[in-house]
Chains A and B, each alone.
Chain A
Amino acid sequence: MTPVNPLLGDYSELFMLLAALTYTIAFLAFTIDLMRAKTIPPEPADVEESSEQSNRSRLPAQVGAGVEWSHSGTSPRGGSQGNAGTGAAGSSGMGYEPLRRPAARIGVAVSAIGLLIHLTGVLTRGIAAGRVPWGNMYEFVTTGALMVMAVFLICLIFRDLRFLGTLITGLVLVMLMAGAIAYPTPVAQLIPALQSYWLIIHVSIAVLASAIFTLTFCLSVLQLIKTRQERAGRPSSSGVMRLIPSAKALDQLAYRLNGIGFIFWTFTLMAGAIWAEAAWGRYWGWDTKEVWTFVIWVLYAGYLHARATRGWEGSRAAWLSITGYLCVVFNFTIVNMYFAGLHSYSGL
């Protein structure tokens, strides 16, 4: 057993605080970005045009020797069919017009800096304890927040999800605050029940899945708001919601991410069962934590089925996704702290 290093633990807490402050700036920047949505001027016309007709205008440059190519297909723009050009090559990938958004750029840049500071905080915590930094509630929540932020920023590489910035940085701040206020735990060695390599596998994947579900939760909430707005027939180009893509685009992205999250959650369940077998002699025993992990798994399975069922797609499926996430939060907070069971590792 390597002894813990309390001094390094103190530094870790300082890094966490700095990360939270940085995220606060990012949160403000993302919020300003949304508030200014109405006043942001569209990109200059030439850029607009090139995104509208991305393929036709760009392709002749690629194709030589007199070969001509034209393509048309579905654009994700508002989910409408048969638009000329394809959104996939458009810059947003979420089917809305690209705009100049300096505040959002600042938000992303500051978030990235925050992530680095946050990562330092989590790493020093792990080094201070001489083990993986997820052995109690404080560590779950700080590592979880790190994972949420990382998943968000990684998704930004592929999709322009900056409209989620306020929600994500907001949630990450809540998580860090919860860690500091509700679950402060000094650096400690692991209790014997947690001394297993399955801790590394099972918990890390659980945290990753939860981070993905955090993202889809935000998407589903926005989807519901957007659906209501679309039903009311309000023009999407007005107000804060202007920067947020159509309900259909949100639904599709949430579905893809929930699919990935569900794979990870299934793995969490499996790895947990294998660990439970090694620790308690049974792979499944309906312990409170197991029950809630199962409930979440079934809810997301229901969501995946619902999306392919008439009458359940759209808003109903979004509600399932939201319910699933609320259960994830419940499982982490209430079940860990107040339900008696074998998974009593909150460190509180």
Chain B
Amino acid sequence: MAPDSQTETQPGSLNATEMLQWAWRQLTSMRTAVQLLLLLAVAAVPGSLFPQRRANPAVVTQYLEDNPDIGPWMDRFQLFDVYSSAWFSAIYLLLFISLIGCVIPRAGVYWKHMRARPPRTPRRLSRMPEHGTLSLPAQTAMTPASAVEDASGLLRRRGYRVQVQDEDTDTPSVAAERGYLKEAGNLLFHVSLIGVLISVAVGGLFGYRGQKLIIEGESFTNTEISYDFFFPGTNYDTDWLAPFSLTLNDFDVSFDRSETNYGNPVDFTAAMTTRENPEAADRIETLRVNEPIGFGGTNVYLIGNGYAPMITVRDGNGNIALQGPVPALPQDPTYNSSIVIKAPDAQPDQLGFVGFFLPTAVVDDNGVAFGSDPDPFNPQLNLNSYYGDLGLDDGTPVNVYQLDTTSLTQLNGRNTPDGGITLGAYQTYDLPEGKGSITFDGLKRYVALDIVYDPGKTGALISTSLALTGLILTLTISRRRVWVRASTHDDGRTLIEYGLLARGKDQGLSKEALSIGAALAAQWSNTLHPANQPQQEGSKQ
């Protein structure tokens, strides 16, 4: 980023153009960049304090219900959509504009600098922060020109770009510079961040994300209507959906049975039969956490799992109104699950059930059943039952995992005198008032899958890798200039002066200066006393 300009004018008596220039200078100044960065850090925090719609829409709805006063105001300030909010976007967009405004001029300067030769040797090297002199005895065959040549060779070996100057004068010198990649790394880092932003945008525009719950034995074909939830990117066309299909043959779960961590999950494995497209052959694949299955660019991830009790509901007329597995949503690590059963086909009244599924039910001292193990050692359903209009007939979409009981009449429940329904495996319960019956026929498992297509992720990976490379370059390389000048003293000795200058703060400069001084001294004492060579090498440090 551009260093602060020394002469900042105040926007008192400026015309429009100057005003814009002033604003641009302010925006692209380093100080603004620092302030925007801090602002970004602060602005990101609320997203971790309040529930976010993107991650958890249901929790946001609940939060709004629980906080009717402040909730809507928070919503107005987009505190439930922090990362797509106007204010958060404004901060990062300003930051990126500031970044671009810095990077472009700097890239220009860098381009010129790359092509330029190392700068001319200053007249007084003793003004450099690190400097020194060497003097070579008069009787040697050393001339200023050959000394400069030696120094030039030595600096080149140390990775400097060198330029011999004033070759034909009495005081030839060599100018050397290294660390060009420091600035290149800095630019690469910042440009790569723009790449990350573009990749995220590409994913948001042309990707999609969907969720699907599949019970053992069920199949899924990748079409929009097959999804439980489907979130297409802004420009996503559902014609692009990859034509794959998959079947969940079996879902295997194992829990830790060691004494100390009893009941912790240790393995989830879904055995799948997949088909790349309708014409392709069946493949047997294993889906596990951290190991998605890929279909072209679309990946299928194992996100969650649970139990789906097999239920049969008979209505008041004795007909089967519902038969099959009903997914229950786990509420805790022992798979205590909430379950909603809806039988809209029941006659004369529609039937609904709300309650819990416990894989291993244990009754506590107060007579309340609770789940004690994630494996189904004593599966039990605890339900309240309702009859009336389930509200499914008018076509408005309704959450299958919730039952709105406001317009229903309760048949029984935990709070009614005769208690709620408690069903063990294979048991049947006859509803009061001859409304029908419910049977717990068996148990299946289901998996919750996320299916994602993100065309931006490769770009994001490449961009972040480049950013990291740039960061390493810019933070580890030092930019240094070295000048060495030689002259002949009146008494015939060859005098060598050197000076070092760093760009920016450079703690290692003094070490480098000593090292170069020592290397020069060693080289020339070797030339003068070749026999010393082996030990002198060591003094180079």
A81 at the interface (CB under 8 A from B): yes
Q: Check B135 against A68 for contact (C-beta < 8 Å).
A: yes
A281 to B20, CA, bound (A): 44
Given A65-B528, A278-B292, A283-B457, answer yes or no on A188-B514 (Cβ-Cβ < 8 Å): no
Given A72-B132, A81-B129, A187-B260, answer yes or no on A282-B507 (Cβ-Cβ < 8 Å): no
Interface stretch, picked from A1-9, A170-178, A230-238, is A1-9
Q: A3 — which chain B residues lie within 8 A by C-beta? A: 258
Contact with B along A264-282 (1 / 0, CB 8 A): 0011001001110111111
A62 at the interface (CB under 8 A from B): yes
Contact with B along A70-82 (1 / 0, CB 8 A): 1111111000010
Q: A6 — which chain B residues lie within 8 A by C-beta? A: 258-260
Given A3-B258, A65-B524, A74-B129, answer yes or no on A286-B54 (Cβ-Cβ < 8 Å): yes
A268 to B437, CA, bound (A): 56
A284 to B465, CA, bound (A): 15
Q: A74 — which chain B residues lie within 8 A by C-beta? A: 129-130, 509-510
A195 at the interface (CB under 8 A from B): yes
Q: Check B525 against A284 for contact (C-beta < 8 Å).
A: no
Among A62, A187, A189, A192, point to the contact of B522 (Cβ < 8 A): A62
A138 at the interface (CB under 8 A from B): no
Q: Check A192 against B265 for contact (C-beta < 8 Å).
A: yes
Q: How far is the CB of A102 from chain B (nearest CB, A)?
A: 29
Q: B4 — which chain A residues lie within 8 A by C-beta? A: 309-310
Contact with B along A37-65 (1 / 0, CB 8 A): 00000000000000000010001001111
Among B137, B256, B268, B517, point to the contact of A69 (Cβ < 8 A): B517
Q: Which residue of B lies closest to A285 (CB)?
A: B55
A81 to B1, CA, bound (A): 28
Q: Check B132 against A287 for contact (C-beta < 8 Å).
A: no
Q: Check B264 against A298 for contact (C-beta < 8 Å).
A: no
Q: How far is the CB of A176 from chain B (nearest CB, A)?
A: 21
Q: Check B510 against A298 for contact (C-beta < 8 Å).
A: no
Among A189, A196, A310, point to the contact of B266 (Cβ < 8 A): A189
> Which chain B residues in 438-485 approach chain A with CB under 8 Å?
450-452, 454, 457, 460-461, 464-465, 467-468, 471-472, 475-476
A115 at the interface (CB under 8 A from B): no
A238 to B97, CA, bound (A): 50
Q: A270 — which chain B residues lie within 8 A by C-beta? A: 464-465, 468
Q: Check B256 against A189 for contact (C-beta < 8 Å).
A: yes
A256 to B31, CA, bound (A): 21
Q: Check A266 against B517 for contact (C-beta < 8 Å).
A: no
Interface stretch, picked from A21-29, A85-93, A161-169, A216-224, is A85-93
Interface stretch, picked from A140-148, A239-247, A300-308, is A300-308
Q: Check B266 against A192 for contact (C-beta < 8 Å).
A: yes
Contact with A along B483-515 (1 / 0, CB 8 A): 000000000000000001000110101110110
B290 at the interface (CB under 8 A from A): yes
Q: Check B135 against A67 for contact (C-beta < 8 Å).
A: yes
Given A286-B55, A299-B41, A310-B4, answer yes or no on A266-B468 (Cβ-Cβ < 8 Å): yes
Q: Check A335 against B134 for contact (C-beta < 8 Å).
A: no
Among A186, A259, A320, point to the contact of B261 (Cβ < 8 A): A186
A252 at the interface (CB under 8 A from B): yes
Q: How far is the CB of A169 from chain B (nearest CB, A)?
A: 26
Q: Which residue of A lies closest to B128 (CB)?
A: A73
Interface stretch, picked from A11-19, A106-114, A119-127, A288-296, is A288-296
> Which chain B residues in 291-314 approach chain A with CB under 8 Å?
291-292, 299, 301, 303
> Which chain B residues in 269-292 approach chain A with CB under 8 Å?
288-292
Among A71, A189, A302, A308, point to the contact of B38 (Cβ < 8 A): A302
Among A198, A256, A267, A302, point to the contact of B37 (Cβ < 8 A): A302
A291 to B49, CA, bound (A): 10
Q: How far is the CB of B303 from chain A (nearest CB, A)?
A: 7
Q: Check B31 against A286 for contact (C-beta < 8 Å).
A: no
Q: How far is the CB of B179 from chain A (nearest CB, A)?
A: 15
Q: How far is the CB of A87 from chain B (nearest CB, A)?
A: 7
Among A70, A294, A305, A339, point to the contact of B133 (Cβ < 8 A): A70
Q: Which residue of B lies closest to A86 (CB)?
A: B510
Q: Check B464 against A273 for contact (C-beta < 8 Å).
A: yes
Q: Check A59 against B521 for contact (C-beta < 8 Å).
A: yes
B52 at the interface (CB under 8 A from A): yes
Given A62-B518, A256-B507, A266-B468, answer yes or no on A281-B299 (Cβ-Cβ < 8 Å): yes
Q: B44 — which chain A residues lie within 8 A by C-beta? A: 291, 294-295, 298
A63 to B529, CA, bound (A): 11
Among B3, B33, B136, B301, point to the contact of A67 (Cβ < 8 A): B136
Q: Check A279 against B290 for contact (C-beta < 8 Å).
A: yes
Q: How far is the CB of B171 from chain A (nearest CB, A)?
A: 19
Given A279-B290, A280-B303, answer yes or no on A295-B454 (Cβ-Cβ < 8 Å): no
Q: How far is the CB of B30 from chain A (nearest CB, A)?
A: 4
Q: How far is the CB of B44 from chain A (nearest CB, A)?
A: 5
B48 at the interface (CB under 8 A from A): yes
Q: Check A282 against B289 for contact (C-beta < 8 Å).
A: no
Q: A72 — which chain B residues lie within 8 A by C-beta? A: 130-132
Q: B464 — which chain A residues lie within 8 A by C-beta? A: 270, 273
Q: Check A188 against B471 for contact (C-beta < 8 Å).
A: no
Q: How far is the CB of A80 from chain B (nearest CB, A)?
A: 12
Q: How far is the CB of B43 from chain A (nearest CB, A)?
A: 9
Q: Check A282 against B130 for contact (C-beta < 8 Å).
A: no
Q: Check A66 against B528 for contact (C-beta < 8 Å).
A: yes
Q: How far is the CB of A140 from chain B (nearest CB, A)?
A: 17
A191 at the interface (CB under 8 A from B): yes
Q: Which residue of A lies closest to B495 (CB)?
A: A68
Q: Check A312 against B34 for contact (C-beta < 8 Å).
A: yes
Given A68-B134, A74-B129, A295-B44, answer yes or no on A281-B209 (Cβ-Cβ < 8 Å): yes
A308 to B509, CA, bound (A): 18
Q: What are 23 A-B pairs at a CB distance below 8 A?
A: A59-B518, A62-B539, A65-B529, A66-B137, A67-B136, A72-B130, A72-B132, A74-B510, A86-B130, A88-B511, A192-B267, A263-B468, A277-B457, A279-B290, A281-B303, A281-B454, A283-B454, A285-B54, A286-B83, A292-B48, A295-B41, A308-B30, A310-B31
Closest 9 CB pairs of A and B: A71-B132, A65-B528, A186-B260, A66-B137, A73-B130, A302-B37, A281-B452, A188-B261, A281-B301
